[in-house]
Structure 1
């Protein structure tokens, strides 16, 4: 999605911005409210539907290389991206892994994951 701030960026500007953000170190993960337990889909996934835990790839400093850190993202943004993956509208996942995972998630699980990650730093 192109926002008004990104419309006038050149290809090189976007590459430079991406390089800058990828250079920044990841901060150790923590949840802003330690009393809030991670929902099932985040912590353990949906094993009966062959769905991995969100945290297995999108965890903290030990997350897989190349996967975005979700904590602190807007709940609206996370929900919209999961819905786009589920619908096949977002297709930037190698081997369709996020599309396959998002298709298996229920609407409630998408909401829970989005709210939980939005509460991070």
Structure 2
């Protein structure tokens, strides 16, 4: 059967990011991490390929050793459905810290509470309290 996983390309912060994300969400864990060895081509110990779960969904990531003319964009974001206001506030604060909020948390007319932020790694998150 064909499967589709979200794939995140970092430039040196893949393990830090996935560890941060796994610590934020329930039913989350690192599934595997494969690292570059001394033969490269990436820096030894950096993430060649990793997979992890957030709230039961699988994601993949790498550390690209090639500098690209692009990075993450808010045009593609991870949308989080929060069950409680406490959960929303905790996640929004953690994901916004060191990042750049795109829409401050609040009532924007289409839900009780919504916020959109880029985290410190550049990944875009939309959080919604239905």
Q: TM-score, normalised by structure 1?
A: 0.31
The TM-score with structure 2 as length reference comes to: 0.30
By percentage of residues, which structure has more helix?
Answer: 1
